[in-house]
Amino acid sequence: MTMGRVFLKPGKEKKILNFYPNVYEDDILSFPGEREDGVLTEICDHEGTFLAKGYVSVGSSAVVRVLTLSEEKIDGEFFRKKIENAFGRRKELLKETNCLRAFYAEADGIPGLIIDWFDGHLSLQFRNGGIEAFRKEILRAAQKVFKAKGIYEKSDLEIRNREGAGGKEGLLSGEIPPRILMEDQGVRYAVDIIQGQKTGFFLDQRDSRRFIRNYITERTAFLDVFSSAGGFSMAALKEGARKVVAIDKDPYALALAGENRELNGAGGEFVTLEGDALQLLENLGRKKEKYDIITLDPPALVKKKADVPKGRDLFYDLCEASFRLLDKGGILGVMSCAYYITLQDLLEVTRMAASKHQKLLEVIGINYQPKDHPWVLHIPETLYLKALWVRII
């Protein structure tokens, strides 16, 4: 593969030297030659001094993505070391779970690559066309590190379609069973990599599930909104909640939640409601239902900065409807997995929604993504998950 070169405008070298992995069109002084997905490219300052080495990603907002700040060779051994080092930093987590994010893109040094480990099986994403050019090398490296029973690709991503790479999904090696038993902090979950949401399970809410379990008693009525397969629901039932209601628009996710309830042998009442979350919250309000704890964990509602106002409005509506169902002492968890929605956004919309109902709030906790989804301070985009927990006082 021919090595390309890209020259940055004066001053733009600083962010690369400060470990930021993305080169945008506005950063570029000149880019001689053709642009093609996966072409290895030297990133140079305006005088031609070497800064880093990365790959081209056609159609992406980041034209070149950094792989290394050295002149090392990019080959199968390079990818093996990156993957092995990342997994090694997470092995401590295997004491509390048998499923985790084994590799998290830029945060682990390979932009665009996601690898989730489900008890010896891998769910993998190539999130752009550029990193996909190294598919063979990465798959061989992953197999060397994990010795996986099966590898399944879930690159059926909206962002790939927007960038012209197209979605891909399918078995890459070995076998993937219809169900994998995930054990996480003493709770059991049936994971379906092939038909389940995202890579198979929302692994990034581990810390939030742990947090809220401290507030659940046998008297708790728990409402899990945007429940998916019931991550929060099962944690609540495990702690003995008397009633748990799970809301999601995906009937298959709710069916998995039902399986998960059986796996855990939970004794509390468990109800699933299929449909639009906001409409169902409003329906519950009209019925004068009351809950002790509500979790709001919507999908990434905001894909770009211009969508932030619309996203804030929806969070406000969800919070406002939720406060109708909570009395004094009630707890609301408001979560966002959208990078562009900040913690400050969540604080503001939650406060405004509570004020409408003349409810005074105490912040009892703030969570981010767990340690297998590392937040690298030099790369702001690696922090995407925010969870705000408030209690009515």
Catalytic machinery residues? 337
Q: Which tokens sit at 49?
A: 């001094």
Q: Which tokens sit at 337?
A: 């997995």
CB neighbourhood size of 168 (10 A): 16
Q: Which tokens sit at 83?
A: 């993957």
Cα–Cα distance for residue pair 188/264, rounded to 1 Å: 6
CB neighbourhood size of 2 (10 A): 9
Residue 88 CB contacts under 8 Å (≥ 6 apart), including other chains:
none
Asked whether the beta carbons of 191 and 201 are under 8 A apart, the reply is yes
Residue with tokens 């969508």: 307
Asked whether the beta carbons of 361 and 350 are under 8 A apart, the reply is yes
The residue among 250, 242, 291 whose CA lies nearest residue 267 is 242
Cα–Cα distance for residue pair 246/257, rounded to 1 Å: 8
Q: What share of the chain is helix, strand, coil (3-state, %, to 5)?
A: 35, 30, 35
Cα–Cα distance for residue pair 142/121, rounded to 1 Å: 11
Separation in Å, CA 205 to CA 213, 382, 386:
12, 15, 10
Cα–Cα distance for residue pair 79/153, rounded to 1 Å: 17
